[in-house]
Amino acid sequence: MANTNEIKMLLEKVDIIDRITDKDWKQTLNNRKIKELEFHDRDRDQNIIEQISSSDTFEKFYGNKKYYTVAKRSNQFVKEWIRKETIDKIFLDYACGNGSYAIFAASVGAALSLGFDISSISVQNAKVAAVAAGVSGKTRFFQADAENIKLPDNSIDIILCSGMLHHLDLSYAIPEIRRILKPGGKILAYEALDYNLAIKLYRKLTPDMRTDWEKAHILNLNDVKFATRFLELIDIRYWHVLGYLGGKFPILLPFLNNVDRILEKVPLIQRLSWMFTFVLRKKSEE
C-alpha cells in the first residue's frame, strides 16, 4: 500500500520532469525518437483527424482503427487486471497515449495513477480527459522518454505497457522498467504478436500507419525471453487468432470469438494470435 509521504516525494520528482522545456526535451532525443514523437503527435491531434476524416487520407493513416473495435475480450482482461492489481497502489501507464488506462486505474482505486508519453499532444489529451472523468486529483500526466524516464528507483508498484513496447529499444526499456519497479512489483504488457503471416502482410501493405521502427519490431516470444533476463514471467495469454477478421466482417465476430476461446489454448496455433498479454514481476528480494 502506497503511503502519503512516498506519493508526495514521487510527485515532486514528476514536477521536476514536467518543468523541462520543450526545446531542452527535444535535444535529449535521437532521430528515431524524434520520428516517433512526430508520428504520435499526428496520430493524437484531433484537429488533424477532423480535417482528414472525410478523405482517403484518413483511411491511409487511421484505417486500422476498425480492427481494434474487435479486441473487446482482451481489453476487458486488461481492465480487470488493472482493477485487481492497482487498489491503493502507485500505477504507471507506460507511454500512455491519451491516458484511458491511467484514468481507469484512478477510478477503480489506485492511490496514484501516473501516465507519460513522448507526445505532448497525448499528454494534454490525457490531462483534459482526467478532468472530464473527475480523477485529476489522483492522476498526473507528463512527457518523458520511455527508455530514460527519470523517475526514482523502486518507486512504482504496477506498470501497464499497452501497445507500445514495439516502439522501443527493449535493451534500454526493459532494464528501465525493472529499475523503477518496486521489489514484488508487476508489469502487464499488451502487445501485437509477430507470427501470423496474414497480419504481417497487412502491416506491409499499410506502411503509413506505422513508423519504420515499429514495423520492424513487433514483438515475438524471443522478446519475452529477453525480458525474463531482468524480470520473472508469471503469466502469458494469447488473444484473437481469428477474431481480428471481425473488423472486416462484424456479423461474424460472435462466432469468431467462440472459436478463438478454443484456438487460443492450442499450442503453436495460439502463436497465430493477433495480440498477446504477459505479466512480469520483479523479485521481492531485489
Supply the CATH number for residue 80's domain: 3.40.50.150
Is position 139 within any domain?
A: yes
Cell numbers of 210, please?
506505422
How high is the pLDDT of residue 63?
46
**Angle ∠(222,224,226) on CA atoms, nearest 5:** 70
Which pLDDT score is estimated for 46?
Answer: 64
Considering the domain boundaries, does residue 286 fall inside one? no
Report yes or no: 151 and 182 within 8 Å, Cβ to Cβ. Answer: no
Residue with more model confidence, 72 or 286: 72
> 98 lies in a domain?
yes
Whether residue 88 lies inside any domain: the answer is yes
| Residue 266: other Cβ atoms inside 10 A | 12
> Per the domain annotation, does 79 fall within a domain?
yes
pTM over 0.85: yes
Q: Is residue 28 part of a domain?
A: yes
Residue 58: predicted pLDDT = 38
The residue segments making up the domain with residue 178 are 4-281
pLDDT in tens, 247-270: 788 899 999 999 999 999 999 999
Decide if 29 is inside a domain.
yes
Domain count, the chain: 1
8-state DSSP, 236: E
State residue 47's pLDDT score.
60
Exposure string of 203-215, with b = 16+ CB inside 10 Å and e = fewer, is: beeeeebbbebbe
pLDDT tens digits, one per residue of 31-85: 988 888 888 777 776 665 555 445 444 344 444 555 567 899 999 999 999 999 9
Inside any domain, residue 188: yes
Sequence-distant (6+) residues with CB within 8 A of 210 are 203
